[in-house]
């Protein structure tokens, strides 16, 4: 972007941004009458017209009508390159041919859920164990559930209750720790102790202190688990350093707690998951998202000593882990086909290189501006900050402006600033995106300068 533009003063920067945002929002309203109408209908049955809070956007959300390959079309007929990627679950795109034939053949030859154990779940369990270096695994329906059961396992195994987590951590609908504290709807809220920093050496030192202290608390607590993401996904695509993760793991083990690595989002970032890439050996790992082959999915697994003693129904006193759809045939077969045939270890490496390359190009383009890109491989976080560093004040107005204007350019991006790439997104579209970001920065050079 041109560096010749002089940044405007703080007040006029905010004023100019507000004007640009108001204009962009007004174009959005004009351009999307059918989405607006649909929203007005939806509020009659769904609170706020919504059944998934993240997808709510003001003044109304875009309503998508259909998707094909790596594109989506909205009700008003606009076409977008899909960078939402179903928040990382949409890895295979909307119509991968192998996923399609697997779904059809599963329906025709196996049928929907059989209400019994099947070879399909055991076959997929073996593949998951092999791929992610787990001794045992159990399936669930979502990443949230996977974490719920992994925590139950840790509590049962240790006989303790407390769980250490990190600020900005997200482990599911009822396990959210943004802003340094459990969200109001956190399950077993009183049991969580939140470390107030994530990712670096300072955070590791703080975690060591909190873990040790929590483990010492005898009454009504004691430490059952440490739960952490290798890269905070919902928290903004912020990777934890290897040293940080190793130190947290070490502290957890020293305290006798179960070390749970949440790989619901990150398992796609390296051939055997991010934990393996970082040299970690978690006691339990949680999985989800794309591993359902496009269907709802969660899984948790790891050391057999824990998994068998907690969940083997032949073991006296073991926990029941139920779920009508845990082994549903569609997910077991589509998930298996995707992981075995499509997202092989080789493809995983290649795909994430494309993401790294894209992020590098974007960061190069955005140098000296308020915009920066974080993440790893195929997951990219977008940040709008006053002086371009992650420590400075966030600029939600600029983030919204960017979102409205990227929609106009035909890119479907999560409003909070998250890109989860899909396999086989055409290179031309990635180039076109870099170009669109460049033009955005040029168009708003004065307000975007750091
Ligand atoms: N853990 C992490 C790290 C996640 O990113 C998510 C979902 N964004 C979850 C758990 C929860 O998964 P689900 O939405 O399938 O319940």
Residue 291 CB–ligand 1 contact under 6 Å: no
Quote the ligand 1 centre to 450 CA distance (angstroms).
33
Percent of the chain scored above 70 by pLDDT?
98
Residue 267 CB–ligand 1 contact under 6 Å: no
Pick the closest to residue 403 from 89, 84, 91, 93 (CA basis).
84
Pick the closest to residue 229 from 273, 292, 188, 190 (CA basis).
273
Residue 230 CB–ligand 1 contact under 6 Å: no
Residue 177 CB–ligand 1 contact under 6 Å: no
User: Which numbered atom of ligand 1 lies nearest the CA of 175?
Assistant: 10
Per-residue confidence in pLDDT tens, the chain, 450 aa: 444 456 678 888 999 999 999 999 999 999 999 999 999 999 999 999 999 999 999 999 999 999 999 999 999 999 999 999 999 999 999 999 999 999 999 999 999 999 999 999 999 999 999 999 999 999 999 999 999 999 999 999 999 999 999 999 999 999 999 999 999 999 999 999 999 999 999 999 999 999 999 999 766 679 999 999 999 999 999 999 999 999 999 999 999 999 999 999 999 999 999 999 999 999 999 999 999 999 999 999 999 999 999 999 999 999 999 999 999 999 999 999 999 999 999 999 999 999 999 999 999 999 999 999 999 999 999 999 999 999 999 999 999 999 999 999 999 999 999 999 999 999 999 999 999 999 999 999 999 999
Quote the ligand 1 centre to 394 CA distance (angstroms).
24
**Pocket perturbation via mutation, ligand 1, pick of 233, 237, 239, 267 by most ligand atoms within 8 A of CB:** 233
Quote the ligand 1 centre to 428 CA distance (angstroms).
30
Residue 265 CB–ligand 1 contact under 6 Å: yes
Quote the ligand 1 centre to 143 CA distance (angstroms).
5
d(CA 422, CA 378): 8
User: Which numbered atom of ligand 1 lies nearest the CA of 234?
Assistant: 5
Q: Give the pLDDT score at 6.
A: 64
**Average of per-residue pLDDT values in the chain:** 96
* Cα atoms in the Cβ-side hemisphere of radius 13 Å centred on 341: 13
For 92-103, write each residue's pLDDT tens digit.
Answer: 999 999 999 999
Q: Give the pLDDT score at 11.
A: 87
User: Which numbered atom of ligand 1 lies nearest the CA of 143?
Assistant: 12
Backbone angles phi, psi at 441, to 5 degrees: -65, -35
Q: What is the DSSP string of 62-83?
A: --EEEEETTEEEETT--EEEE-
User: Which numbered atom of ligand 1 lies nearest the CA of 172?
Assistant: 11
d(CA 418, CA 56): 15
User: Considering only CA atoms, which residue is closest to atom 9 of ligand 1?
Assistant: 172
The residues near 162 (Cβ < 8 Å, ≥ 6 apart) are 191, 192, 193, 214, 217, 221, 222, 223, 224
Residue 166 CB–ligand 1 contact under 6 Å: no
Residue 142 CB–ligand 1 contact under 6 Å: yes
Peptide bond into 200 cis (omega under 30): no
Residue 262 CB–ligand 1 contact under 6 Å: yes
User: Which numbered atom of ligand 1 lies nearest the CA of 233?
Assistant: 5
User: Considering only CA atoms, which residue is closest to atom 13 of ligand 1?
Assistant: 143
Q: Give the pLDDT score at 352.
A: 98
User: Which numbered atom of ligand 1 lies nearest the CA of 89?
Assistant: 15
| Cβ count near 69 (within 10 Å) | 18
Q: Give the pLDDT score at 221.
A: 74
Residue 143 CB–ligand 1 contact under 6 Å: yes
pTM for the structure as a whole = 0.97
């Amino acid at each position: 972007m041109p560096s010749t533009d002089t940044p405007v003063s703080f007040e006029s920067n905010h004023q100019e941004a507000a004007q640009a945002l108001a204009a962009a929002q007004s174009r959005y309203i004009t351009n999307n009458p059918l989405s607006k109408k649909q929203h007005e209908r939806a509020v009659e049955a769904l609170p706020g017209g919504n059944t998934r809070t993240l997808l709510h956007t003001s003044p109304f959300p875009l309503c998508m009508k259909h998707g094909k390959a790596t594109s989506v079309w909205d009700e008003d007929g606009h076409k977008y390159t899909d960078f939402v990627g179903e928040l990382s679950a949409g890895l295979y795109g909307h119509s991968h041919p192998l996923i399609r034939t697997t779904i059809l053949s599963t329906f025709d030859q196996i049928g929907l859920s059989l209400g019994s154990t099947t070879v399909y779940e055991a076959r997929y369990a073996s593949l998951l164990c092999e791929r992610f270096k787990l001794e045992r695994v159990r399936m669930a329906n979502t990443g949230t559930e996977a974490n719920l059961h992994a925590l139950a396992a840790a509590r049962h195994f240790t006989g303790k209750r407390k769980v250490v987590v990190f600020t900005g951590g997200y482990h599911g609908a009822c396990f959210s720790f943004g802003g340094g504290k459990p969200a109001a709807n956190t399950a077993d809220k009183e049991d969580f102790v939140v470390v107030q920093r994530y990712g670096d050496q300072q955070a590791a030192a703080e975690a060591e202190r909190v873990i040790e202290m929590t483990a010492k608390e005898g009454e009504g607590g004691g430490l059952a688990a440490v739960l952490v993401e290798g890269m905070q996904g919902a928290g903004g695509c912020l990777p934890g350093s290897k040293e940080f993760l190793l130190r947290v793991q070490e502290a957890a083990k020293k305290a006798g707690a179960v070390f749970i690595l949440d790989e619901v989002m990150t398992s796609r970032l390296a051939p055997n998951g991010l934990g393996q890439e970082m040299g970690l050996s978690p006691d339990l790992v949680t999985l989800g998202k794309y591993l359902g082959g496009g269907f709802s999915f969660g899984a948790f697994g790891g050391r057999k000593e824990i998994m068998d003693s907690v969940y083997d129904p032949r073991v006296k006193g073991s926990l029941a882990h139920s779920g009508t759809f845990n082994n549903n045939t569609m997910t077991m077969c589509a998930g298996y086909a995707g992981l075995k045939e499509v997202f092989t270890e080789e493809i995983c490496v290649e795909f994430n290189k494309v993401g790294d390359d894209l992020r590098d190009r974007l960061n190069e383009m955005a140098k000296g501006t308020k915009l920066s890109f974080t993440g790893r491989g195929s997951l990219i976080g977008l940040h709008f900050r006053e002086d371009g560093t992650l420590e400075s004040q966030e600029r939600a107005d600029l983030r919204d402006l960017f979102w409205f204007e990227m929609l106009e350019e035909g890119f479907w991006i999560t409003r909070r600033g998250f890109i989860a790439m899909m396999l086989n997104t055409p290179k031309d579209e990635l180039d076109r995106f870099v170009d669109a970001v460049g033009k955005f920065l040029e168009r708003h050079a004065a307000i975007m300068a750091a």
